[in-house]
Amino acid sequence: MTQGSPSSRTVPPLLVVAVVLGLAVAGGSFLVLDPYLAAFVAIVLVVGVAMAVLAHDWDSHETFEERELVRARKRQEKWDRNAGARAKDRARWEAHQARKAAQEGSD
């Protein structure tokens, strides 16, 4: 990843201020405005704050090349783990081909 693990990420202070301010304004709107209008303001603010929280680390993901490198390493490890099975299968196939050639030669 281009950044540390999720547990080591810090929340930007501006985001914390935006969350607190958005929730305070949403709650305070019920004291000042008509309940229907306050509900609209609260919903818009809460959705906006939720979008800001979810999008604050939008571009801190792995690149395509990094993901493909990890996949290639996993495929190589699996290939190496199964080398014995492939060798055994190849030996069985070669023995089968030898028996088949010997049987066709004797006919």
67 lies in the same domain as 105? yes
66, 69, 25, 63: which is closest to 43 by C-alpha? 25
Segment 87-90 long-range contacts (CB within 8 Å, at least 24 positions apart): none
69 lies in the same domain as 52? no
Is the pTM above the cut of 0.85?
Answer: no
Task: Output the pLDDT for position 9.
Answer: 67
pLDDT in tens, the chain (107 residues): 444 455 556 777 888 888 888 888 888 888 888 889 989 988 998 898 888 888 887 777 788 899 999 999 999 999 999 999 999 999 999 999 999 988 887 76
From 61, 78, 95, give the residue that closes a domain. 61
Domain of 30? 1-61
Task: Output the pLDDT for position 71.
Answer: 95
